[in-house]
Amino acid sequence: MKALYYCVRQGGKVSRNYFDMFANRSGGEFFTSAPKGYKPGKIKYIVFVGTVISGLGKGVAMAALARLLKENGFKVSPIKFDGYLNVDAGTLNPFRHGEVFVLDDGTECDMDLGTYERFLDENLSSINYLTAGKLFKKILEKERKGEYLGRDVQFIPHVTGEIKYLLRDLGMKTDADIVMVEVGGTIGDIENSYFIEAIRQMQYEEGMENIMVVALVYIMKPSTLGEQKSKAAQLGIRTLMGMGLRPNIIVCRAEDIIEEKVKQKISIAANVPLKNVIDAHNVKTIYELVLNLKSQNVDEIVLQHFGLKTKKIDLEAWRNFVSKIVNAGKEVTVGMAGKYTQLHDSYASIIEALSHASAKNNCKVRLKWIETTQVEGVEKQLEGVDGLIVPGGFGSRGVEGKIEAVKHAREKKIPFLGLCYGFQMAVIEHARHLLGMKSAHTTEVDPYTEFPVIDLLPEQKRIKDAGGTMRLGGQDVIIEKGTKAYEIYKKEKVRERFRHRYECNPDFVDRLQEKGLIFSGYAPGKRIMQILERTDHPFFLATQFHPEFTSRPLKPSPIFDAFVKACLQARNK
């Protein structure tokens, strides 16, 4: 035991013999739990935690720093931990949790994974996402198999041990130099307390110089006082320190630039160097945070802590991208016709994809939120829009309003983009108003409709569980030459991400392709329609997939790029 203690406290230089010995002994209290071949100290860890309130933007801050570290030449692998007991985010209501993001491998996850992908310009997978439900499911399965060798399974060492294993395993599987961990929620939450404890143990096992803790605090400015106050932030930091973690960097969130005296108070309260107290006040676009952190040398602070070399990095392309968003002269108004419009995070990836496309087209996209739950007011709400998006969704609420919005865009020749459910609404609208199928519907809403133009996928009809059972993740799409879709993609086959259970009913495909509608994209070797467009409209396109999930700041989605171009043309007319 003394040998392991000495090696750990000397900087994580633990020989594999000692590490493996104590990781696998059923009676050992260390339970270091590492993958075979793991070498402590080789992989560095950065842990982001919240303090005062949630929703401060831990994911954005972590993604911005990850981008800087990648620019410095390091392989970065992010992971998000969510403390809820759902196995994944697939069954979460967007009103409560924001958008459900989908990875290429089909993982339904927190929207922060989308932020990581966009900033890093990399595809992530299921190992980059962990929930309490996923963690405990794994532990209980191992317990039933007898893999804990008769031990009473406890939060310490077993739950914390599994967390440490998963973080180390992520680093090894992705060949990461640096693993970046976002802990959902705030310090003091019961549901993440054991995760914080696991990080504390990792500091002990890996060595303090191999782990950094970044705490986000909120600097309040009460309107009655008119000045910034840091006491709440200080108390949040003390709570963190009381759980055994001392922050190395403190990121201060606020409406305005952080006052110097506030930074000094935070510094002395937390024993953190003043240069490590970072100003992250509100900016015009989240992508500006990369430049903000670089101006304060945050990447250099991190790499010096780890004993890693920094290099001069070129952020010119990123700077130009941000400048185009911030300084855009032209403007278009896009209507977003959905039923989650009161929580804009429900459509986070769409908003970001529009941002990417607007920068490429040197314009600003102003969103007009169209509430579709009341059909009567939809047409009036659409006045003055240069384009319309009908996004994804589930269930019957707001369906008729969405169909009315599609009809308005078709008749008034307004550029239209339907996404997933929006694709299905466009099919229903066409069937009802142009093909005489007055009762056409989706069986999701009306199981007994005379014209089920949207119906369950064949493989979905026997499935009873809700979570993780849809057609999910990256799939190939075959594009018909001579169509608007081919003009946009300039390829005969593309890969996009899906999240749906219902599809355009194959029995109606031939009849639907009348009066101006064609299906220009479909699944390889299957009669699953995935893109539709109109030949009698300047821009009318809908996709069964979610092109917003693959859009990146410097590589905007081709479909969103084309849509914004069409909106600009419509406005100029």
Which CATH number characterizes residue 157's domain?
A: 3.40.50.300
* Overall average pLDDT of the 512-516 stretch: 94
Q: Does 184 share its domain with 282?
A: yes
Residue 211 lies in a domain: yes
Q: Does 362 share its domain with 213?
A: no
Residue 337 lies in a domain: yes
Q: Which residues contact 232 (CB under 8 A, 6 or more apart)?
A: 52, 217, 218, 220
| Last residue in a domain, options 272, 291, 317 | 317
Q: Does 311 share its domain with 333?
A: no
pLDDT at residue 569, rounded to an integer: 94
Q: What is the pLDDT of residues 396-416, one digit of tens each?
A: 788 999 999 999 999 999 999
* Overall average pLDDT of the 49-67 stretch: 93
Q: Does 313 share its domain with 335?
A: no
Q: Does 190 share its domain with 60?
A: yes
Q: What is the pLDDT of residues 158-214, one digit of tens each?
A: 999 999 999 999 999 999 999 999 999 999 899 999 999 999 999 999 999 999 999
pLDDT > 70? residue 7 = no
- Closest alpha carbon to 187 in 234, 137, 141: 234
> Would you please indicate which residues are annotated as catalytic (active-site) residues?
420, 546, 548
Q: What is the pLDDT of residues 255-283, one digit of tens each?
A: 999 999 999 999 999 999 999 999 999 99
Q: How far apart are CA 115 and CA 392, in angstroms?
A: 19
pLDDT at residue 15, rounded to an integer: 44
pLDDT > 60? residue 23 = no
In angstroms, the Cα distances linking 240 to 211, 237, 250 are 15, 5, 12
- Closest alpha carbon to 82 in 189, 233, 239: 189
Q: Is 284 exposed, middle or buried (0-12, 13-18, 19+ CB in 10 A)?
A: exposed
pLDDT > 70? residue 394 = yes
Domain that holds residue 85: 44-317
Count of CB atoms situated within 10 Å of the CB of 3: 13
pLDDT at residue 26, rounded to an integer: 47
Q: Does 304 share its domain with 212?
A: yes
Residue 4 lies in a domain: no
Residue 405 lies in a domain: yes
Q: How many domains does the chain have?
A: 2
**Binning pLDDT at 50, 70 and 90, where does residue 372 land?**
confident
**Cα torsion angle, 126, 127, 131, 137, sign:** positive
Q: Does 421 share its domain with 310?
A: no
| Last residue in a domain, options 317, 346, 379 | 317
Q: Does 437 share its domain with 529?
A: yes
Q: Does 133 share its domain with 100?
A: yes
Residue 110 lies in a domain: yes
**Binning pLDDT at 50, 70 and 90, where does residue 92 land?**
confident
Which CATH number characterizes residue 471's domain?
A: 3.40.50.880
Residue 28 lies in a domain: no
pLDDT > 90? residue 547 = yes
Q: How far apart are CA 563 and CA 573, in angstroms?
A: 16
Residue 8 lies in a domain: no
pLDDT at residue 467, rounded to an integer: 54
Q: Does 137 share its domain with 248?
A: yes
Q: Does 299 share its domain with 333?
A: no
pLDDT at residue 217, rounded to an integer: 96
Strand partners, 472: 499
| Last residue in a domain, options 260, 294, 317 | 317
Tokens 């991400």 sit at which residue? 497
State residue 261 phi and psi, 5-degree precision: -65, -30
Q: Does 352 share its domain with 437?
A: yes
Residue 36 lies in a domain: no
